[in-house]
Structure 1
Amino acid sequence: MDLTLFFQEQQKLLKQVTLEPKRYLYSLIDWNQRLIGIIGQRGVGKTTLMLQALKEQYGSSDQALYISVDNPFFKTISLYEFAIHFEQLGGETLFIDEVHKYSEWSSHLKAIYDGTQLNVIFSGSSMLQIHAQEADLSRRAIIYHLANLSFREYLWLSGNGQFAATTLSELLHNHVAIASNIADQIKPLKHFQDYLVCGCYPFISEGADTYHIKLISIVNQILESDLPYVTQVPITQIDKLKKLLYLLSESAPFEPNISKLSAMTDISRVTMGDYLRYLEHASLLIRIPGSNKGTGRIRKPEKIYLYNTNLANAINKTPHTGTSRETFFVNQIRSSYYNSRKLVDNSIVLGLTGDFLVDGTYTIEVGGKNKGFEQIKGIDNAYLAVDNMEIGFKNKIPLWLFGFLY
């Protein structure tokens, strides 16, 4: 087996990759682990992140190799056999892209882990359910979730300033100083409006004119290619799922009525719950559960948001302003907690009083500049996240600042 062509292709790719800027996840990954998985939606930068790691750690050495298993070559050869041959040639680290496109990928990764000394970094769709795999990769692989660009990362990528990320606690307690420092260097409100329309994906660096066309193409690839691969959803259902996404884009924060959704999309009630879960795993929507705190209090029904504001702008050119505000907030909070390794995800739920309860502690009401404290009056640890405000005051915080959490 001759690997020359793979190394030649790798050198071409590495020439196109710069080491800066790096996505936030790069510094969170423990690159010393033997089996690392990076999952995320198409277009968020998984391939670039892996190539940056390869370039920084190995340069042009032949001890590391990047492969994409959607290459037709891997229809004719076992991934496990390929890995063994690479190790025999002196290989140390194998970077495997698009792993979800390879049949029985989990069994092959387990065999590589158990049968070789190779380090393996693999990437795949955010739909991959590692803990559900028969090969039981959950005991072997360290999995990281790569979210879309934060507002902070967008500013860096677009050449509008490099700023440090902040924790939620720091943001809530020191937001005036943090926002003032940023506002001294840029006009955050101007850039924030651009970000909401077309700033959540790294390919914004290729220009805004074709951004939504590329984003719609990614949505189609997820629905028409990735979804059937990973979940075995019949191709005949894909158009119905597209209609479902469009209906969600038209709505204010959507409180799901399964019967109504089924009737509007011609998707059966039995499968609707599964399809909503698949779309969430695919990072096309986010479901926020109702809070169950408080004895004897009525639990709010969950709400459904599109995954980010760019999707809403690409699918529906005139998204609801209030929905966009909440979608941004939900996306940035949920994304900042993706790799927190908690047994139960309580990063954000619907609040019993304000809009959201974050980390089980902070009540947040999201609104416009004139939003008042009436709905959260008398509540401990309650804050307003306010749009169209450059610098806040006391418990009134600029909405855009929540884009600096990762």
Structure 2
Amino acid sequence: MEAFFKTHKYLVEHTDAPVRRALMDEIDWSDRLIGIKGTRGVGKTTFLLQYAKENFKADDRKCLYVNMNNFYFQGRGIADFAADFYNHGGEVLLIDQVFKQPEWSRELRLCYDHCPGLKIVFTGSSVMRLKDENPELNGIVESYNLRGFSFREYLNLLTGSNLPIYSLDDILEHHEDIATGIIGEHHDVPEYFQSYLHHGFYPFFLEHRNFEENLLKTMNMMTEVDILLIKQIELKYLTKIKKLFYLLALDGAKAPNISNLAHDISTSRATVMNYIKYLSDARLINMIYNPGDEFPKKPAKIMMHNPNLLYAIYPIVARTQEVMETFFVNTLWKDHKVHQTGKDACYMVDDDRCCRIVDAAANSRLRNTAKTIYAEYNTPSGIGRDNHVPLWLFGLLY
């Protein structure tokens, strides 16, 4: 136990979160069992350590961070370790990568039942279905998702600003005032937006390593660990899943041809649909449906999960329109429903708002309607008017 406290102290003292994540204030920290899910690489470990740093002194033995990658836990279960920590005055146990522990959900249930004064906060993959696939946790676990950086968080980090979160209603009703205020302070917002689309979603852009190579490594880990390990898929099927992802990326944002994909990776249509769902759960792709449809029906469109992925897959040339639509869908998805409509570049948000993503220069030549919200990129001033809203403003939603 002493070795773990020593490691905890060192990690907390050397943790310096580049930006305070909005999720920190959304979680009800009074709950006893809290799960933090998220895409690999979005900063879940830093999030746990930042929580410890904000609420406990580094040498306070009431709080302890442990990582299930430690070989120690191959010979000792979570419940046994947690009970020892609890009996020595422990109050908050932070468990990183909980899925690396065999029977982790049963172990967490034992902790909950036998250590009534212990709070456990654990991280896991976005592929995990905490309640659906782990009935022993139903009714006792509260699950949250940590996403990659929003454009707001990215801009705050690089400019030292403190831009607040805006609701969708705020943006649609007051976008001219909001954009004018921000552009007045930061004239280069459009340049920051372009760099965010390329490399701003994953926090590891701050590391002194090649971003694309790091992202490719992360994408491979998503398939090799998050999908295969958690979904318990045999290793021999890994190449099929990777090839499917690559084919979907090459096809671009459109409806998938399931029969052709099944032929290309030598499997059944049903298996292709399952693999697509796994890729979606891993936050490698987004599946967009027509209103009223959902899995296991074929999606109306498949696109990459976030724009950064489009720049990392060779030899794809990231088309500007596709990048902008990918950004829009991804940033809206946190708190809103997004469906495909029958028109190109048009999406239905929350079943009542039709949004079209367009190039501002091209849109000036199109016939516009008052009922449509035009999310525009390449706006000369970065500021919109009426129902023409600068696309970058939607990056302030979280």
Deviations 1:5-39 (A, max 9, x none): 00111111112212562112111111111111100
Alpha-carbon deviation of 1:303? 0.6
Alpha-carbon deviation of 1:239? 1.9
Helix, strand or coil at the partner of 2:154: helix
Q: Give the structure 2 partner of residue 356 of structure 1.
A: 347
Deviations 1:168-210 (A, max 9, x none): 0000111111111111122111011111111101111224x51
Q: Give the structure 2 partner of residue 57 of structure 1.
A: 55
* 1:193-232 superposed matches below 5 A: 193-207=194-208, 210-232=210-232
Identity %, equivalent residues: 34
Query: How far apart in 2 are the matches of 1:301 and 1:104?
Result: 33
Q: Give the structure 2 partner of residue 341 of structure 1.
A: none
Helix, strand or coil at the partner of 1:314: coil
Deviations 1:219-273 (A, max 9, x none): 1111112212110122112222222222222233120111011122333212111
Deviations 1:376-401 (A, max 9, x none): 85563x20011111111111111111
Counterpart check, 1:89 vs 2:88: yes
RMSD of aligned Cα (Å):
2.0
Helix, strand or coil at the partner of 1:70: coil
Q: Give the structure 2 partner of residue 27 of structure 1.
A: 25
8 Å Cα contact 1:333-1:405 kept in structure 2? yes
8 Å Cα contact 1:41-1:283 kept in structure 2? yes
Helix, strand or coil at the partner of 1:305: strand
8 Å Cα contact 2:64-2:92 kept in structure 1? yes
Unpaired stretches in structure 2, ≥5 consecutive residues: none
Letter in 1 for 2:346: D
Aligned residues: 388
8 Å Cα contact 1:149-1:201 kept in structure 2? yes
Q: Give the structure 1 partner of residue 40 of structure 2.
A: 42
Query: How far apart in 2 are the matches of 1:189 and 1:110?
Result: 49
Going from structure 1 to structure 2, the CA distance change for 1:107 and 1:166 (only over 3 Å counts) comes to same
TM-score by length of 2: 0.93
Q: Give the structure 1 partner of residue 120 of structure 2.
A: 120
Q: Give the structure 2 partner of residue 240 of structure 1.
A: 240
Helix, strand or coil at the partner of 1:110: helix
Going from structure 1 to structure 2, the CA distance change for 1:300 and 1:349 (only over 3 Å counts) comes to farther
Helix, strand or coil at the partner of 1:184: helix
| Worse overlay, 124-133 or 367-376 | 367-376
8 Å Cα contact 1:157-1:205 kept in structure 2? no
Helix, strand or coil at the partner of 1:291: coil
Counterpart check, 1:367 vs 2:362: no
Letter in 2 for 1:321: T
8 Å Cα contact 2:95-2:121 kept in structure 1? yes
Counterpart check, 1:392 vs 2:384: yes
Query: How far apart in 2 are the matches of 1:234 and 1:214?
Result: 25
Helix, strand or coil at the partner of 1:5: helix
8 Å Cα contact 1:107-1:135 kept in structure 2? no
Q: Give the structure 2 partner of residue 254 of structure 1.
A: 254
Query: How far apart in 2 are the matches of 1:176 and 1:221?
Result: 42
Query: How far apart in 1 are the matches of 2:289 and 2:311?
Result: 24
Going from structure 1 to structure 2, the CA distance change for 1:228 and 1:161 (only over 3 Å counts) comes to same
Alpha-carbon deviation of 1:351? 2.3
Helix, strand or coil at the partner of 2:333: helix
Deviations 1:324-363 (A, max 9, x none): 111000010013x1xxxxxxxx611112456101111211
TM-score by length of 1: 0.91
Q: Which of 299, 302, 317 is 2:300 aligned to?
A: 302
| Worse overlay, 238-247 or 190-199 | 238-247
* 1:177-196 superposed matches below 5 A: 177-186=177-186, 187-196=188-197
Q: Give the structure 1 partner of residue 5 of structure 2.
A: 7
Unpaired stretches in structure 1, ≥5 consecutive residues: 294-298, 338-345
Alpha-carbon deviation of 1:124? 0.3
